[in-house]
Amino acid sequence: MTLLELSDFVKKFEDTFEVTAAAPVAVAAAAPGGAAPAEAAEEQSEFDVILESAGEKKIGVIKVVREVVSGLGLKEAKDLVDGAPKPLLEKVAKEAAEEAKTKLEAAGATVTVK
């Protein structure tokens, strides 16, 4: 098929099925991509608490980790603290994330909330 034949075919196809051969997908994909980060920042209701480092007082941090993360034994809490940086809490409310961060920082840990 030559280029002219292909062009005629596309025109007939567009007329028959009432569609366009334009590529609006590329334009549509670019527009939401630019708006998505702004929407995500405004609507964020779930946060992750990440233990960056235990600091000098590792035993105190282990105790607070056991208090903050429910269902952890001593060994699991120690492994979590030793393996920092690790997420401690995932998809929690802002208040719970801030409370956990405050307790962990008071014990000497370095914590980030994302």
| Count of the separate structural domains present in the chain | 2
Segment 19-37 shows an average pLDDT of 53
- What is the predicted pLDDT for the residue at 25? 45
Asked if residue 101 and residue 65 are part of one domain, the reply reads yes
Strands ordered across the beta sheet of 86-92? 86-92, 47-53, 110-113
78 and 99 in a common domain: yes
Same-domain check for residues 18 and 54: no
Q: Which domain holds residue 82?
A: 47-113
Whether residue 65 is found in the same domain as residue 97 = yes
Can you give the pLDDT at residue 54?
85
Give the tens place of pLDDT for each residue, 65-93: 999 888 888 998 899 889 878 888 888 88
Q: Which of 71, 72, 75, 69 is nearest to 51 (CA)?
A: 69
- Do 67 and 34 belong together in one domain? no
Same domain, yes or no, for 54 and 107? yes
pTM metric for this prediction: 0.58
CA distance 7 to 15: 13
